């Protein structure tokens, strides 16, 4: 028998996320999974779970849930106020939540996305090997609504001592994205390539789990014809007709017809998960 977690306050956009469903791009299925992968893994480790276990990913406003049995929970990622039945509780460390108590992760004080991990992990039905919600294809559990109930597993290991915790990364003041040029950088003028790596960009309010959209100078194309649709990878920097780069994140489409000027290394993308609208973005030439 599993336990259950009831959603008391779903927040603006709260989804179930794990390590994602990689390996299905040939069928048009994005990888999905937690946008801030290091925060997801750390929250799980502190809850005594494998790093791949399913958690809740909140967006800006946080959420509140009520387990039907005692559980160890960890709220990490974007810093926020944490309470258990209205009493202050620790952020970024294991917290014991009694059966029937309300665990509330408040609005993000800095950054965008908080992660709620529960000992034993969340156990919605997996789809293609993952429990993650995919906002583009609709696979996995839908975004949470008030009153939803999620299955909760039983912990197989004890949480580590708090002293074992490592510092949580802070939300970035500037998002620095090392970019490897190609495969379609030759579709842009030399001036555009200089602009990409020297101009000041900002995170657009239109950013989401599909991509980090930017505001700033447009990149001028050297070619005006159109590409046939081709495969897109995680971290691809696609340039739509308005000329402003878009960095593809976890729920990105697996194909697209706009040219990709470069690709950002996966290790640099966790910062994009916590970068709010207006955060400065710098593209730097990888390896140089």
Judged against a pLDDT cut of 70, whether residue 56 lies above it is answered with yes
Judged against a pLDDT cut of 80, whether residue 52 lies above it is answered with yes
pLDDT of residue 163: 52
Whether 180 and 206 map to the same domain: the answer is yes
What tens digit of pLDDT does each residue of 134-151 get? Answer: 998 899 999 999 999 999
What tens digit of pLDDT does each residue of 121-135 get? Answer: 999 999 999 999 999
Whether 132 and 223 map to the same domain: the answer is no
Domain stop point among 140, 164, 188: 164
Per the prediction, the chain carries an average pLDDT of 94
Whether 211 and 267 map to the same domain: the answer is yes
Nearest to 121 by CA among 163, 161, 86, 150: 150
Whether 126 and 194 map to the same domain: the answer is no
Judged against a pLDDT cut of 90, whether residue 287 lies above it is answered with no
User: Domain for residue 169, yes or no?
Assistant: no
Q: Give the dihedral of Cα atoms 257, 197, 211, 74; nearest 10 deg.
A: 150
Cα 156 to Cα 93, 117, 125, 126, 162, distances in angstroms? 18, 14, 19, 19, 18
Report the CATH number that the domain containing residue 226 is assigned in CATH.
2.40.100.10
User: Domain for residue 170, yes or no?
Assistant: no
pLDDT of residue 164: 54
User: Domain for residue 134, yes or no?
Assistant: yes
Alpha carbon 134 to chain centroid distance?
11
Whether 136 and 234 map to the same domain: the answer is no
Domain stop point among 164, 183, 208: 164
- Is 162 exposed, middle or buried, given 0-12, 13-18 or 19+ CB atoms closer than 10 A? exposed
- The pLDDT confidence band at residue 1, using thresholds 50, 70 and 90, is low
Task: Please give the model's pTM, rounded to 2 decimal places.
Answer: 0.95
Domain stop point among 104, 131, 164: 164
User: Domain for residue 268, yes or no?
Assistant: yes
Whether 248 and 131 map to the same domain: the answer is no
Q: Domain of residue 57: give its range.
A: 3-164
Q: Give the dihedral of Cα atoms 207, 211, 212, 213; nearest 10 deg.
A: -70
Whether 17 and 144 map to the same domain: the answer is yes
Whether 19 and 134 map to the same domain: the answer is yes
Whether 10 and 40 map to the same domain: the answer is yes
What tens digit of pLDDT does each residue of 5-46 get? Answer: 999 999 999 999 999 999 999 989 999 999 999 999 999 999
User: Domain for residue 112, yes or no?
Assistant: yes
Whether 193 and 128 map to the same domain: the answer is no
- The pLDDT confidence band at residue 159, using thresholds 50, 70 and 90, is confident
- Structural domains of the chain, count: 2
What tens digit of pLDDT does each residue of 78-100 get? Answer: 999 999 999 999 999 999 999 99
């Amino acid at each position: 028998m599993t336990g259950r977690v009831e959603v008391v306050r779903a927040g603006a956009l709260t989804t179930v996320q794990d390590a994602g469903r990689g390996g299905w791009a040939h069928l048009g299925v994005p990888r999905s999974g937690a946008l801030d992968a290091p925060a997801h893994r750390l929250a799980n480790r502190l809850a005594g779970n494998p790093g791949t276990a399913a958690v809740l990913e909140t967006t800006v406003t946080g959420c509140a849930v009520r387990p039907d049995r005692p559980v160890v929970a960890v709220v990490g990622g974007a810093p926020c106020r944490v309470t258990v039945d209205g009493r202050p509780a620790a952020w970024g460390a294991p917290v014991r939540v009694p059966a029937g108590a309300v665990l509330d992760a408040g609005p993000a004080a800095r950054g965008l996305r908080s992660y709620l991990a529960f000992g034993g992990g969340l156990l919605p039905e997996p789809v293609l090997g993952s429990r993650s919600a995919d906002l583009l294809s609709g696979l996995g559990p839908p975004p949470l609504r008030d009153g939803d109930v999620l299955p909760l597993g039983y912990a197989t290991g004890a949480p580590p001592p708090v002293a074992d915790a490592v510092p949580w990364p802070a939300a970035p003041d500037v998002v620095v994205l090392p970019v490897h040029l190609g495969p379609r950088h030759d579709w842009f003028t030399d001036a555009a390539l200089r602009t990409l790596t020297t101009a000041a960009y900002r995170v657009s309010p239109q950013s989401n789990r599909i991509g980090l959209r930017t505001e700033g100078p447009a990149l001028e194309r050297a070619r005006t014809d159109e590409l046939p649709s081709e495969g897109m990878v995680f971290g691809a920097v696609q340039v739509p007709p308005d000329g402003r780069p878009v960095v593809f994140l976890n729920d990105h489409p697996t194909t697209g017809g706009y040219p990709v000027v470069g690709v950002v290394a996966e290790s640099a993308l966790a910062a994009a998960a916590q970068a709010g609208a207006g955060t400065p973005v710098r593209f730097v030439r990888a390896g140089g």
